[in-house]
Each structure stands twice: as structure tokens, then as C-alpha cells.
Amino acid sequence: MEIAKQDRRIRKTKKALREGLAKLLSEKNIQNITVKELTDKADIHRSTFYANFHDIYDLYSHMEDTVIQEIKDIASVDFAFKTKIFFEKLLNYINDNKQVARLFFKQNISFSEQLTTLLRDACLDCWRKEYNIQSTPEEMDYYVQHALSGAIGIIGMWVSDDFKYPMEKLVVMLADIDSNFGKFISMV
């Protein structure tokens, strides 16, 4: 029981640090953020910070890895024929982590590239199942690149616009766009 309690406290601490850093990064560059400033913002003792991270850059790297892993967990579910459910889960995750989403979806090319790579295989697997394709023709690589670039761009626009567009409508839009790729995939 004690381990679960400790794990919950550690998760809560790391979340407070991630959110604090994301907030500070919306105000200034990472090189201008001090550990003291961050721990004050997150209401965490400095020794607790150093028990978990070497420095601000280590925390930033941890944040990026965590977001990528959590999105990977969402994408690892078999969403064949259920793209609307996938987009609901993805957008709910982003909506629940607004501060961090603002940080990574706004002009973070490295994150965008990692996200595209991560979702590429999941998307190809889904399309192979949906359209009963045994191998991956070269054209599908181009279609998946276009689909992911568009979806990530739309999500980035939603985040940049401070989540004003209704999420439910955005889910339908992304699912509709994805379903229209079937016309092209069936010709491959």
C-alpha cells in the first residue's frame, strides 16, 4: 500500500513540475528559468526537484518523453474502423494537458517529427486492416504522411487558438478527413 501511495505522490510532484515548467516556458526561454523559480511556481522543495531531475533541461526532456509515451499508449490500441474513437481519446488527452500541449504543439518541430513517426506505423496498420492490404505500397507512405501532417497541423491550430473550437466538432472533422482517405487507399 505504501508503494502505491509513494508512486501517486511522485506522479503528482512530477506533474506539478511539468505544469510549472510549461507555464514558465510560455513566459520566457528555457535558459532563463531557474530551478528556484520553477520550484516556487510548482510549490515543490528544491531537494525534491533534484531527487527527480538533474536540471531544467532534464525535466524538459522528461516532459517530451512522457507526452510521446502517453500518446503512443493511446495509439497502440487497435482502432481499425474506429478513427473517431482514436481522435476522441487523443484530443481528450491533449485537452486534459493543455499547458503541456501548448508547449509542444506550438512550433516544436522535434516533437512534431516524433509524433508523426510514432503515429505513422499505427496509421499504416489501421489502414491495412481497414482496406485488407497485405503489404504497404509506396503510395501509402505518401498518403499517411499527408494525413498525419494535416491532422497534427489541425490539432496544432486548435491548441494555438487556445482550444476555442469545440472538441466534439474537431473529432468529427478529423475522423471524416481520415475516412475519405479510403477512396485513395482502395486505388493503391
In the 3-class helix/strand/coil scheme, how is the chain assigned residue by residue?
CHHHHHHHHHHHHHHHHHHHHHHHHCCCCHHHCCHHHHHHHHCCCHHHHHHHCCCHHHHHHHHHHHHHHHHHHHHCCCCCCCHHHHHHHHHHHHHHCHHHHHHHHCCCHHHHHHHHHHHHHHHHHHHHHHCCCCCCCHHHHHHHHHHHHHHHHHHHHHHHCCCCCCHHHHHHHHHHHHHHHHHHHCCC
Write down the pLDDT at residue 53: 95
Write down the pLDDT at residue 148: 87
Write down the pLDDT at residue 10: 84
Write down the pLDDT at residue 185: 65
- Please name each of the domains of the chain with its CATH number: 1-53 (1.10.10), 64-185 (no CATH)
Residues 111, 63: Cα–Cα separation, whole Å: 11
Read off the pTM: 0.81
Integer-rounded Cα radius of gyration of the chain: 19
Write down the pLDDT at residue 24: 93
- From first to last of the 188 residues of the chain, give the pLDDT tens digit: 444 555 888 888 988 998 899 999 989 999 999 999 999 999 999 999 999 999 999 999 999 899 999 998 998 886 655 788 889 999 999 999 998 888 888 767 788 888 888 888 888 877 777 777 777 778 888 888 888 888 988 999 999 999 999 999 999 999 888 877 666 666 65
Write down the pLDDT at residue 47: 94
